[in-house]
């Protein structure tokens, strides 16, 4: 039986959205990639869809990264949160607020590996059907 894996990308950058969207759509099992530009709209969509993974551009989160990531964890506890940052200094957010942190401009192969690893965590239905 084929997995239905929904993903969400939250960014105002059209280039980032298109690149990440194309990469995610190429991964096995991912059936839906939604792009949203504003955080308030992303919250509404996440409540309704409970995506497997959300990639969040830190530029959209602004100074509220921690509270936004915590809100997402509370409203959609099974969603894996990947924070996209422009600089390495934001790494301190990872352990408590996001499952992964990636610097924008990361190689496609490194991003793919990260996403597959998140989808393949123990107890995950993705691992059962694709691993």
Q: What pLDDT sits at residue 125?
A: 46
Domains of the chain: 5-124 (3.40.50.2300)
The pTM of this model reads: 0.86
pLDDT at 37 over 90: yes
Q: Which contacts (CB < 8 Å, 24+ apart) does range 72-77 have?
A: 72/43, 72/46, 73/97, 75/43, 75/46, 75/47, 76/46, 76/47, 76/50, 76/51
Q: Pick the more confident residue, 97 or 5.
A: 5
Average pLDDT over residues 66-81: 91
- C-alpha 18/C-alpha 16 separation (Å) is 6
What mean pLDDT do residues 102-115 have? 90
């Amino acid at each position: 039986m084929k997995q239905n894996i929904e993903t969400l990308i939250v960014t105002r950058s059209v280039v980032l959205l298109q690149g990440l969207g194309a990469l995610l759509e190429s991964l096995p099992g991912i059936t839906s990639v939604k792009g949203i530009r504003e955080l308030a709209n992303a919250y509404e969509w996440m409540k309704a869809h409970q995506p497997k993974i959300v990639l969040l551009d830190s530029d959209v989160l602004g100074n509220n990264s921690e509270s936004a990531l915590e809100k997402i964890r509370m409203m959609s506890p099974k969603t894996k949160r990947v924070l996209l940052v422009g600089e390495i200094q934001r790494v301190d957010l990872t352990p408590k607020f996001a499952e992964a942190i990636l610097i924008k401009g990361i190689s496609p192969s490194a991003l793919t590996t990260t996403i597959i690893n998140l989808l393949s965590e123990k107890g995950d239905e993705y691992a059962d059907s694709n691993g």
